[in-house]
Structure 1
């Protein structure tokens, strides 16, 4: 199979900071739904005007002054979306969009403020597209023992089609998506291996005679290859006004003529960290660097690193 077929889907399942231009490009099946020209990243870059791109898989924010400063927030990581008042350097006290996420057991909070007064699109677009994503998970997830049959008929998803029906198939699956033939205790069988992110299942099926098995393997592989070239992710939402193509709303990133010492650099995600398990302030300690008492820093954090994030 081609590398595109085996490419791991991360766009909707990850939160990434300062991604490369390549990672910002739309993957096969990803479409740009809306583009807001003036949005402030109030949580991590307060006072910095940026562009917010809303796709069917994620939200992308990028700074207009420093394009290498950006965010990619996958919808599968979103826990909650609310609107609350925030203190924006560009708008002052104003209503903003709060997005709480969880990725790799770490919670991040993002706050976006629309710099254009009187425009509700920031709220309506993000909330509506995320809702469309939440109600279409059958397109993207592997479900075992789900309600697929209604009135003795297969319940097809919108845009789903039946290409063939193969009778007399035995399910040999163990509790363990490449498609191939493999020997089993039942003889030669069709084996479908799912990706680790979908559970890493091994699904086995017995089809007789062997000629019919070979035809089924060939057809499934062919359909999988065609589908992977332009997947249907199921997020059906369209704006009345079509956004510009992504290539027209992005600019080429210029490599900064600056060297960054990796050991001294604090990861960008620190600014978005949502420490919801913190019940009370940590004990005060004396900081020789500042000459006063401060709340004890969490392990792995330094004053210099926090200062670099805030500035």
Structure 2
């Protein structure tokens, strides 16, 4: 059977099919189309166009037509229609500001709050007012939730999440360095050995006595010294052999 005559449109379900497969085949015509329809099963948060033909139902994403869905009527078992008022995607945020209700006042605004309702979690902003709590995602403001206090049954702290935070807590101490501080290796000074020799004062005084006396170019009288048992020059006034020996 030639490829152009094979009819699969009402018998198959195709995901992200080529654009040519989204076109109407011969004998197929559009019955109705609806804009801003969200595929909450496979493309949550992505709006698209829902097209109903006499053979199938098509859903095509507004942002990227490659994301699409073709459902043949022969594959449909049941169809359920119900009215629902979404509380998770209301227009409560405008220009990054919470749309306040009459007599409503914002008590606190907390940034970087995780919504762990899904497996991967979403980072967003948390508002506390006098009548409700509001959270919305940072990347998609239409992904939000508003919970009035009248509908809250209980509030509790999840200790496991607190334990994760306590591993690497933020103590609120912040500082800014005016200039880069040198490292410890840069502050080290190489050790240099001094060439200065430390001389005892007493020895220096004994030598000074000889040098000062030698400048006069005179010889003293030779006398026998009983302390050392030798003959030597007589000592200057104020000096003894014992003091010279100790010096």
Same fold (TM over 0.5): no
Q: TM-score, normalised by structure 2?
A: 0.33
> TM-score, length-normalised on structure 1?
0.27
Which structure's CA Rg is the greater one?
2
Please state which structure has a larger fraction of its residues in helix.
Answer: 1
